[in-house]
C-alpha cells in the first residue's frame, strides 16, 4: 500500500504546488488585465484575451518598436488594409521615405507584389540580418502569400512545397526591392503612371516641397491607383504637441535641420542629430487642399490622434497658426487616402 500511495501522493502534492504557483500567478495577471479592460471583452473570452495580452506585452517589452518585425509588419498590414478598403490590391508599389528599414517593402515582396521600390533623400545601409528575423516573423503570422497553401494541404509524403517560406531566401527577397537614394519626393525619377500604389509613413511632414511632392505622386501614380500617407503633424520632441507652432517662421528655420545632404535617420538613431528635425508644419486641412489641388480624389482623411480642442489657445501660437481655429489645430496624426481618378496624360 505504502509503495502504491507514495508516488501518487507525491504526484498530487507536486500537482497542487504547481497549480498554486502557476494558476496563482496567472490569475493575478489575468485579474490585472481584466480590471484594466473593465468589461470591454466578452465574458467567455476574458481568460484567453488576458493570456494573449500578457504574451504580446512581454514580446513588446523585449523589442525596440521601430527595430522590431512587429512594427514593419503592422505598418504593412495597415497600409494594405487601407488600399483594400477602397477595392485596390497593390501590385507596383512605391514607398517614400522608408528611412532606416525596408521592412514594409519586404512584407510587400513576401506577399507577392510585382515591383517594390523605396526612395529616400538620405541613403541608409540596411542590415541584412534583420530581414531574416522578419522573414521568420512573417512565416509565423502568415505574412507570406504561400503560407496558406501548406496549411491547407498539410504534410503529405512525397509532396514538396517549393514556394514555402522555409525555402524562401531573405536576401533574395531583399534584393527584389529597388532602393534609390538620394531621391527627393518632389523630383521622382520615374515615368508617368509607373505605380498603382504609393505610400509613406511618418515621412511627409518632413518634405520641404510638399505641394510638388504630391503633384509628383499624382504623376507617377497610374489612373485608378491609390496613395496612402500617415502624417505626424505634432512637435517631434518631448513637450507640448503644438510647441513647434509657437515659433515664428524665422525662429523655426534657425532651430531646425532638414533631412538630406548628410542628415538622415541614422544620425537620429545614433544621437548625432543635434537640431530639431525640420517639419513643414502643415495642418490636416492644408494636406487635404494640397491633395485636391494636385488632382487627386481624397477618399478619406482619418484623424489618428488629436489634442482636445478645448485645451488649445491659438493666441499662444505664432503667425499664421494663431489665426486658425482650435478644431483646425487639433489633429496630431492623420491618415490620408486618395485616388487618381483622371486618365493618363
Ligand atoms: C521619420 S523618418 C520615417 C521613416 C520610416 N518611414 C518609419 O516609419 O520609420 C522620415 C524619412 O523621410 C525621409 N525624407 C525626408 N524628406 C524627404 C523628401 N523630401 N523626400 C524623400 N524622403 C524624405 C527621411 O530621410 C527619413 O528617412
Percent of the chain with pLDDT over 70: 72
Give me 244's grid cell.
Answer: 513647434
**pLDDT value of residue 23:** 43
CATH architecture, domain 65-339: 3-Layer(aba) Sandwich (3.40)
φ, ψ dihedrals at 320, nearest 5°: -90, 5
What is the whole-number distance in angstroms between the Cα of residue 265 and the centre of ligand 1? 8
**Strands of the chain, DSSP E:** 92-96, 115-119, 177-180, 195-201, 221-232, 256-257, 276-277, 297-306, 331-339
pLDDT category, 156, cuts 50, 70, 90? low
pLDDT category, 144, cuts 50, 70, 90? low
pLDDT category, 1, cuts 50, 70, 90? very low
- The answer to whether residues 134 and 140 touch, using CB atoms and an 8 Å cutoff, is no
What is the whole-number distance in angstroms between the Cα of residue 268 and the centre of ligand 1? 12
What is the whole-number distance in angstroms between the Cα of residue 61 and the centre of ligand 1? 26
Give me 70's grid cell.
Answer: 512587429
Highest mean pLDDT among 49-58, 65-74, 254-263: 254-263
* C-alpha 219: how far from chain center: 25
What is the whole-number distance in angstroms between the Cα of residue 186 and the centre of ligand 1? 13
**Strands of 211-322, DSSP E:** 221-232, 256-257, 276-277, 297-306
Q: Which atom of ligand 1 is nearest to the CA of 99?
A: 27
What is the whole-number distance in angstroms between the Cα of residue 340 and the centre of ligand 1? 23
Residue 179 predicted with pLDDT over 90: yes
Q: How far is CA 272 from CA 150, 263, 266, 297, 307, in A?
A: 47, 9, 8, 40, 30
State the chain's mean pLDDT as an integer: 84
Tell me: the pLDDT tens digits for 217-257?
A: 999 999 999 999 999 999 999 899 999 999 999 999 999 99
Closest to 280 (Cα-Cα) out of 293, 268, 266, 290: 290
**pLDDT value of residue 18:** 42
Would you say the CB of residue 185 lies under 6 angstroms from ligand 1? yes
pLDDT category, 25, cuts 50, 70, 90? very low
Q: Rounded to an integer, what distance in angstroms lies between the CA atom of residue 242 and that of residue 263?
A: 24
What is the whole-number distance in angstroms between the Cα of residue 306 and the centre of ligand 1? 22
Closest to 111 (Cα-Cα) out of 63, 145, 74, 78: 145
Q: Rounded to an integer, what distance in angstroms lies between the CA atom of residue 252 and that of residue 92?
A: 38
Would you say the CB of residue 103 lies under 6 angstroms from ligand 1? no
φ, ψ dihedrals at 152, nearest 5°: -75, -45
Would you say the CB of residue 281 lies under 6 angstroms from ligand 1? no
pLDDT category, 280, cuts 50, 70, 90? very high
Would you say the CB of residue 233 lies under 6 angstroms from ligand 1? no
Would you say the CB of residue 122 lies under 6 angstroms from ligand 1? yes
Q: Which atom of ligand 1 is nearest to the CA of 208?
A: 19
Would you say the CB of residue 195 lies under 6 angstroms from ligand 1? no
> Mean pLDDT across the stretch 20-40?
49
Task: Indicate the domain borders of the chain.
Answer: 2-62, 65-339
Would you say the CB of residue 124 lies under 6 angstroms from ligand 1? no
What is the whole-number distance in angstroms between the Cα of residue 17 and the centre of ligand 1? 54
Place of cell 500617407: 229
Q: How far is CA 208 from CA 121, 126, 152, 213, 226, in A?
A: 11, 25, 49, 9, 23
Q: Rounded to an integer, what distance in angstroms lies between the CA atom of residue 235 and that of residue 233?
A: 7
What is the whole-number distance in angstroms between the Cα of residue 202 and the centre of ligand 1? 7
Higher pLDDT, 47 or 21: 47
Give me 19's grid cell.
Answer: 497549480
Would you say the CB of residue 97 lies under 6 angstroms from ligand 1? yes
Residue from 77, 180, 183, 206 to probe ligand 1 pocket by mutation (most atoms less than 8 Å from CB): 206
Cα within 13 Å of Cα(25), Cβ side: 5
**pLDDT value of residue 203:** 97
SS3 assignment, position 298: strand
* C-alpha 96: how far from chain center: 13
How does DSSP classify residue 197?
Answer: E
pLDDT category, 19, cuts 50, 70, 90? very low
Tell me: the pLDDT tens digits for 87-123?
A: 999 999 999 999 989 999 999 998 889 999 999 999 9
Of 24-28, 51-55, 179-183, 198-202, minimum mean pLDDT range: 24-28
Q: Which atom of ligand 1 is nearest to the CA of 98?
A: 6
What is the whole-number distance in angstroms between the Cα of residue 18 and the centre of ligand 1? 51
Place of cell 518631448: 238
Percent of the chain with pLDDT over 90: 57
DSSP letter string over 179-196? Answer: EE-S--TTS--S-TT-EE
pLDDT category, 33, cuts 50, 70, 90? very low
> Mean pLDDT across the stretch 125-145?
78
Residue 14 predicted with pLDDT over 80: no
Q: Rounded to an integer, what distance in angstroms lies between the CA atom of residue 291 and that of residue 144?
A: 33
pLDDT category, 165, cuts 50, 70, 90? low
Q: Which atom of ligand 1 is nearest to the CA of 213?
A: 19
The predicted model scores a pTM of 0.81
Higher pLDDT, 303 or 67: 303
Q: Which atom of ligand 1 is nearest to the CA of 124?
A: 27
Q: How far is CA 24 from CA 55, 293, 334, in A?
A: 17, 61, 43
Amino acid at each position: 500500500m505504502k509503495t502504491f500511495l507514495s508516488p501518487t501522493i507525491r504526484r498530487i502534492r507536486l500537482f497542487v504546488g504547481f497549480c498554486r504557483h502557476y494558476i496563482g500567478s496567472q490569475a493575478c495577471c489575468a485579474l490585472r488585465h481584466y480590471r484594466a479592460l473593465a468589461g470591454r471583452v466578452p465574458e467567455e473570452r476574458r481568460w484567453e484575451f488576458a493570456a494573449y495580452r500578457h504574451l504580446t506585452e512581454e514580446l513588446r517589452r523585449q523589442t525596440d518598436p521601430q527595430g522590431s518585425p512587429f512594427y514593419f509588419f503592422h505598418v504593412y498590414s495597415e497600409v494594405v488594409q487601407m488600399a483594400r478598403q477602397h477595392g485596390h490590391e497593390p501590385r507596383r508599389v512605391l514607398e517614400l521615405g522608408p528611412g532606416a528599414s525596408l521592412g514594409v517593402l519586404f512584407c510587400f515582396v513576401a506577399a507577392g507584389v510585382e515591383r517594390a521600390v523605396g526612395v529616400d533623400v538620405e541613403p541608409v545601409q540596411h542590415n541584412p540580418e534583420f530581414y531574416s528575423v522578419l522573414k521568420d516573423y512573417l512565416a509565423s503570422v502568415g505574412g507570406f502569400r504561400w503560407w496558406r497553401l501548406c496549411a491547407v494541404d498539410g504534410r503529405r509524403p512525397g509532396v514538396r512545397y517549393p514556394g514555402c517560406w522555409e525555402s524562401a531566401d531573405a536576401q533574395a527577397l531583399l534584393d527584389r526591392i529597388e532602393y534609390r537614394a538620394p531621391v527627393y519626393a518632389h523630383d521622382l525619377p520615374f515615368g508617368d503612371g509607373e505605380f498603382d500604389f504609393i505610400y509613406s509613413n511618418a515621412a511627409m511632414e518632413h518634405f520641404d516641397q510638399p505641394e510638388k511632392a504630391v503633384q509628383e505622386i499624382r504623376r507617377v501614380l497610374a489612373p485608378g491607383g491609390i496613395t496612402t500617407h500617415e502624417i505626424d503633424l505634432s512637435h517631434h520632441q518631448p513637450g507640448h504637441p503644438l510647441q513647434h507652432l509657437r515659433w515664428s517662421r524665422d525662429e523655426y528655420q534657425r532651430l531646425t535641420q532638414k533631412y538630406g545632404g548628410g542628415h538622415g535617420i541614422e544620425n537620429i538613431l545614433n544621437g548625432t542629430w543635434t537640431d530639431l528635425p525640420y517639419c513643414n508644419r502643415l495642418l490636416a486641412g492644408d494636406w487635404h487642399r494640397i491633395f485636391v489641388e494636385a488632382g487627386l480624389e481624397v477618399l478619406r482623411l482619418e484623424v489618428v490622434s488629436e489634442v482636445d480642442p478645448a485645451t488649445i489657445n491659438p493666441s499662444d501660437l505664432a503667425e499664421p497658426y494663431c489665426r486658425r481655429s482650435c478644431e483646425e489645430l487639433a489633429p496630431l496624426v492623420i491618415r490620408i487616402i486618395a485616388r487618381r481618378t483622371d486618365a493618363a496624360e
